A = this chain, B = another copy of it.
Amino acid sequence: MLKLPGLIDPHVHLREPGQTHKEDWDSGTSAALAGGVTVLLAMPNTRPPIFDAATLNLALAAAKAKARCDYAQFLGAGPGNAEWGRHKALPLRAAGLKMYLDSTFGELRLDDMTLWQQHFQTWPRDLPIVAHSESRSMAAVILMAAIYDRPVHIAHISLKEEVLLIKAAKEKGIKVTCEVCPHHLFLTKDDIPPSPLHPSPNGRGDGGEGRLSVRPRLATKEDVDVLWANLDVIDCFATDHAPHTLAEKDGENPPPGFPGVETMLPLLFTAVSDGRLTIDQIIEKSVINPRKIFSLPKQPETWVEVDENARYELHAADLHSRCGWTPFEGWQVRGRVRRVTLRGREAFKDGRALVKPGYGRNVRE
């Protein structure tokens, strides 16, 4: 039995407030514990979005009542809240500032780069900024980090051009970090099955629609290969756990996103078993680096026991997310979380969360 530090997932959507039929702070944090995750950072594109004191209080009240693992909550950058200097205490209460700069699920998006500049100028320099920014938008936000000489963390990179540009920017000394999601390491656009509901001109879904719709889209095999070849450029693993129900995913207007917080650890351990990754890299990218990038406290008496030799199939029926499916259904994997100890308490064991809703702590308090 291998003993790991509790993992940190810096990119999780919990859907509360507003869409608890997909997930809530209870089901989502139970799923996190099942995945060996003891701290998660929750994204702000809920309904309503989390973008000021009132909405932050709403999310944190739900979290306080229901969370089973530790957490922090992001604030979202909007067109109307770019003057953080007026709200000095607020940024300190958040996981960081999340900027949505490309199309995704929810209402938060900033199209005008002058608004990006305002957020970069007013958000405190020592607190995290995370950008959903693909391709040229990513390059643009890295330019802002260079101009304003402050760090920026790029969410869920997926493309060869992204990882190679981040590499060059890091070599130049620009303060940029990044994360990659398991689905962008283990799936390609060729995995997207033909969609009878949403046929595309080339005869199959193109990532824009259907069950395998996700943002950023699944990429080419070349992109995936270049990500693996440049793991040293990638600071963190993050799941972008984005639960939607199967009815929604298979319906007329499928929302983008996959669940993932429970399946990351076995996928990564499978890569270890295949010789593509080391345990040290998992600890580096799921514990050490995210703790540093997001200024997270160490969790005392916290660890995850993993049966690294366990072989089994992933099935949605065994998972804790409310959404009820996984894009990795039926995959043969290695590495099973047997037990999670969180701040001295047995929090998860053999498939069941043992701590009560509300045991989780806000790491920003």
Contacts and interface: CB of A to CB of B under 8 A. Distances in A.
Given A114-B161, A161-B113, A164-B114, A139 B143 contact: yes
B164 A139 contact: no
A117 B164 contact: yes
A165 B135 contact: no
Nearest to A172: B147
**Most B CB atoms within 10 A — which of A113, A140, A143?**
A143
B165 A113 contact: yes
Contacts of A143: 139-140, 142-143, 146, 165, 169
Nearest to A165: B113
Interface of A is mostly: helix
Contacts of A164: 113-114, 117
A136 interface: yes
A257 to B, nearest CB: 23
By size class, the interface of chain A is 20 to 34
Interface in A107-151: 112-114, 117, 135-137, 139-140, 142-144, 146-147, 149
A279 interface: no
Number of chain copies forming the complex: 2
A87 to B, nearest CB: 23
**Most B CB atoms within 10 A — which of A114, A117, A142?**
A114
Contact of A168 (B117, B135, B136, B171): B117
A157 interface: no
Contacts of A117: 164-165, 168
**Most B CB atoms within 10 A — which of A136, A168, A169?**
A136
A306 interface: no
Given A147-B168, A169-B147, A139 B113 contact: yes
A113 B142 contact: no
Contacts of A144: 139
Interface string A259-295: 0000000000000000000000000000000000000
A174 interface: yes
A141 B171 CA distance: 17
A153 interface: no
A338 interface: no
Given A143-B143, A143-B146, A149-B172, 16 more contacts: A114-B161, A114-B164, A117-B164, A117-B165, A136-B137, A136-B139, A136-B140, A139-B143, A139-B144, A140-B140, A140-B143, A142-B143, A143-B169, A146-B146, A146-B172, A147-B169
